[in-house]
Structure 1
């Protein structure tokens, strides 16, 4: 039976392969999942990734802090982290943010997605102004504010391959791939083992997922894992600290 198209839903864009749903929220057609929480992607970032990694408290005591992320998406996590780091980090500090992303969004798509938070417009504009119109390959950007510096490195391609090639030891990880049920490769034992190899001693990881097999894969990689209360609408999330 044929159905009429939803007048509130746009067709997938090319090359981003996403549509806009439920109040202009970006939705991946490939993975059948939203790019961030339908409740509030910004508050999810603060709850899961910042608080889950004990940030920004750790920023205050670090002259150089390195973050690794699986899944750059719209750049919301980066911008929210940049804002928190700018407020908490000491003078002369440097934030190094490495993100691994298979599908890079266009400049227009990122700007549209980030427009939901007008108070982030300054940094959103800085990011999108320097973002390639139709990005291909790795991206390296640097932002300077006073004596503080933020570097962004996007490793474009399959996460397992690119992670093996990357030169970093992350103090904290944001595990933010699409739903484990829809994108299991981003949560595999092999990939999380590679994450552990690129983590500084005592480094941490946080994810919105509390799936049993995800937690077991983190434990097998060498993380001590615990459940914490999840973001709005989710009972649990997972955090880990590299041991040994």
Structure 2
């Protein structure tokens, strides 16, 4: 049953159905927000391992992660959990996510409650989540861990960014459902905003996605996907 009446939901807010209890499903993109087997483990396999994390954040210098598609906040919470367990003392994490349709606090809380492993992170995130996210939202989650949520269309949002990132999580809805999130123009902006030697990772393996990433300038690698999926993509921006 739908959680919201779409006629009464702002056009910049996610409109959801709920499948199998607590799995959110986007009506706008006709797709689930994460892998149906275990989204938390998928995050570790695809986004952390694909970006060679936690290995690459074993430094006291600030580490910057960017994400296309905040969704439920699952990738943030799992990354943050692993950061707390593995990052050196004094290090700082900046996590910036670009999201066109932010979810409501209650929906984030409901979706993330599926994983007791991230109960702590879920509680802090939802406590600080604004009632109506809009514009650029800045949240200090704890000392040395900061979230920036940029609300709006991804291409326009990225075009206004200047500081590069060390790692990218490309986690828009499936390329077949949301091709704009995987366009050549957007991948060129991702490349521009990647530090030399920085990386990206994505569950997507569509041919046009791989070609757009390679055309942007990334060295693209295919790896086995999560939970029996044949392939995923990751890669690196060549060092200067």
TM range (shorter): over 0.9
Aligned to 2:23: 25
RMSD after superposition: 1.2
Q: 1:116 aligns with which of 103, 108, 114?
A: 114
Q: Contact conserved, 1:17 with 1:29, CA < 8 A, in 2?
A: yes
How far is the alpha carbon of 1:12 from its aligned partner? 4.9
Q: Contact conserved, 2:133 with 2:151, CA < 8 A, in 1?
A: no
Q: Tell me the TM-score normalised to structure 1 length.
A: 0.92
Look up the SS of the partner of 1:49 in the other structure: helix
How far is the alpha carbon of 1:119 from its aligned partner? 2.4
* Structure 2 residue ranges without an equivalent (≥5): none
How far is the alpha carbon of 1:120 from its aligned partner? 1.1
How far is the alpha carbon of 1:177 from its aligned partner? 0.1
Matches within 5 A, 1:70-85: 70-85=68-83
Aligned to 1:178: 173
Aligned to 1:36: 34
How far is the alpha carbon of 1:167 from its aligned partner? 3.1
How far is the alpha carbon of 1:39 from its aligned partner? 0.6
Counterpart CA distance in 2 for 1:42 and 1:236 is 18
Look up the SS of the partner of 2:204 in the other structure: coil
Look up the SS of the partner of 1:182 in the other structure: coil
Q: Contact conserved, 1:101 with 1:159, CA < 8 A, in 2?
A: yes
How far is the alpha carbon of 1:89 from its aligned partner? 1.2
How far is the alpha carbon of 1:86 from its aligned partner? 1.4
How far is the alpha carbon of 1:100 from its aligned partner? 0.4
How far is the alpha carbon of 1:196 from its aligned partner? 0.4
Q: Contact conserved, 1:63 with 1:90, CA < 8 A, in 2?
A: no
How far is the alpha carbon of 1:62 from its aligned partner? 4.3
Q: Contact conserved, 2:60 with 2:90, CA < 8 A, in 1?
A: no
Counterpart CA distance in 2 for 1:143 and 1:63 is 18
Aligned to 2:141: 143
Aligned to 1:94: 92
Q: Tell me the TM-score normalised to structure 2 length.
A: 0.94
Counterpart CA distance in 2 for 1:12 and 1:191 is 31
